Structure 1
Amino acid sequence: MYAVTGASGLLGRLVLSELLNKTDPGNIIALARDPTKLSDLAAEGVIVRPFDYNDVSTLGAALVGVDRLLLISSSEIGRRVPQHRAVIEAAKAANVDFIAYTSVLHADTSPLGLAAEHRATETTIQESGLSYALLRNGWYLENYTLSAGMEIVHGAVIGSTGEARISAASRADYAAAAAKVLLDETIEKRIYELAGDDSFTLSDYAATLAEISGKPVAYQYLPEDAFRGALQGIGLPAEVARMVADSSASAANGALFDDKHALSSLIGRPTTKLSAAISAALA
């Protein structure tokens, strides 16, 4: 039995879609805070169970019968360590054989502020005695293309990354990797550094926006403090703006670059190109 946490989220949904293409729906357990959001999958035969990172009482029962578990990292930055620890402890108690975890690229050395919680979770998994795979995901292309329309309107891409390169891939690429690892029972203790095949700078990103839209778009570098202020000025909560600005500045030091092509090797195809992701977002 294969189980996926955060199953109603964007990544979780894509992982479930990959699993449904490769195994019987009765072998899949979708775990979500609100199971009603997965009623369509339940109708297909997927087993749906309530699973709330913040409610320990939901965890143990939801993991009964699970052999291999994908722990998709919580979206609640600052609360991830205790949430993930509770899931890992529940997995051990339920005799889960294997846990895969969606971490961050080069988590052990990453300067990203986000990496600390991932490192702590990785350590908890490695010390748990469970077999595991650490899926150290690079940035999603969607982290950029989500704002593509607005950037075209304003003719500017802002950030603190300078001309450092970013090896991003699509959410679907990372989902395919997670499903592949979850289904491969020969994997026991492994770390994957997963990133896009083709790296780009924010100047490259702006130029691609301009080429596809036919409108002028340029990259404007901002120091981290100024970028954070600009993000708050367009309505982002202070903590989110701080996290985004920290990530952009950390990327200037290579935090989001990797050229080993482990992701495309794992999924057996090239990763999504930046131009394709932009075109899809604008469509």
Structure 2
Amino acid sequence: MITVTGATGHLGRLVVEELLRGGVPADQIVAAVRSPHKAADLAERGVQVREADYTKPETLATAFAGTDKLLLVSSSEIGQRAAQHRNVVDAAVQAGVSLIAYTSVLSAQTSGLALAAEHKATEDILRACGLASVLLRNGWYLENYTENLAPAFQHGAILGAAGEGRISGATRADFAAAAAAVLTGGEHAGAVYELGGDQPFTVAELAAEVAAQSGKPVVYVDLPVEEYTKALVGAGLPEAFAGLLADSDLGIGRGELFTDSGDLGRLIGRPTTTLAEAVATALKA
């Protein structure tokens, strides 16, 4: 039995789809979700849907019953992740899970990104729990940029504080395919995968690609981090989240969202999705 947590989220749902596409019987997949009604379509296809709330340990032990391999998709609740993930790991130990794969972040143990701290803490929890684990250190999603291009067209600019830092971006589908590959094949226990796209790019190159494909003027405007944070708050983001995004841009400038490991392409057995392909898909949406 393979259990995927957060299975109604962007990444988790794609992992379930990859497992089904890869031939895993639906009744051997558990979609562990906070709100089971949101996974009704998966249940109709034969996937086992079980309630699993990271903040309610009593739901986790039941959700993980009979699980051989577990994918822990990191919580979206920044500031609460480590405690929530500890609940998941404790429940996995209780349920006798044989392997946990965790969606971490590039170079989590050494990264200076503010968002890396909770991933590092979770990796430490996994190492101490006694179960075999696989670390899927995901890079930046291309969708972080392509899902909301409207402001770029409105203002003719993409703002940031990343300088000339290169980003090894890939699509959520690429990262989902890697997770599914780890859950279904080969010997991955103890592995640490640094996952990123084959063709890194700068935010200036992103802006140029958007401009070229759309035929609209879009340029990258690099700002001091304080100004970028203010711009994000002005656009309606909560101050704490704006600060985290701005800090991530500084990390990009330091090279912390770049990898040339090639791990992602090897795991999925194909080239990763390019920036140009992702932009083209976004513009068609």
Cα separation, 2, equivalents of 1:71 and 1:132: 10
Q: Does the 8 Å CA contact 1:31/1:51 hold for their aligned counterparts?
A: yes
- What's the TM-score once normalised by structure 2's chain length? 0.98
State the shift of 1:276 in Å. Answer: 1.0
RMSD of aligned alpha carbons: 0.8
Superposed, 1:7-18 pairs within 5 Å as 7-18=7-18
Range moving further from structure 2, 167-176 or 52-61: 52-61
| Same amino acid, percent of matched pairs | 52
Superposed, 1:24-43 pairs within 5 Å as 24-43=25-44
Q: Which runs of 5+ in 2 are unaligned?
A: none
SS at match of 1:127: helix
Range moving further from structure 2, 144-153 or 173-182: 144-153
SS at match of 1:232: helix
Tell me the alpha carbon deviations over residues 1-50 of structure 1, each in whole angstroms, 9 at most, x when there is no partner.
00000000000110000000121101100000000111111011100000
**Alignment partner of 1:5 is 2:27:** no
Give the count of matched residue pairs: 283
Q: Give, as a single letter, the amino acid of the residue that structure 2 aligns with 1:81.
A: A
**Alignment partner of 1:78 is 2:94:** no
Change (3 A) 1:185 1:197: closer
SS at match of 1:166: coil
Which residue is 2:237 aligned to?
A: 236
Tell me the alpha carbon deviations over residues 190-237 of structure 1, each in whole angstroms, 9 at most, x when there is no partner.
100000000001110110011011111111111111101000001011
Q: Does the 8 Å CA contact 1:149/1:282 hold for their aligned counterparts?
A: no
Which residue is 2:253 aligned to?
A: 252
- What's the TM-score once normalised by structure 1's chain length? 0.98
Cα separation, 2, equivalents of 1:185 and 1:257: 26
SS at match of 1:74: coil
State the shift of 1:108 in Å. Answer: 1.2
Q: Does the 8 Å CA contact 1:148/1:278 hold for their aligned counterparts?
A: no
Cα separation, 2, equivalents of 1:175 and 1:196: 13
Superposed, 1:117-196 pairs within 5 Å as 117-184=118-185, 186-196=187-197
Which residue is 2:95 aligned to?
A: 94
Tell me the alpha carbon deviations over residues 169-193 of structure 1, each in whole angstroms, 9 at most, x when there is no partner.
0000000000100112522111000
Which residue is 1:198 aligned to?
A: 199
Tell me the alpha carbon deviations over residues 51-103 of structure 1, each in whole angstroms, 9 at most, x when there is no partner.
00111111111111000000000000000011000100000011000000000
State the shift of 1:153 in Å. Answer: 2.4
Cα separation, 2, equivalents of 1:35 and 1:185: 31
State the shift of 1:147 in Å. Answer: 2.4
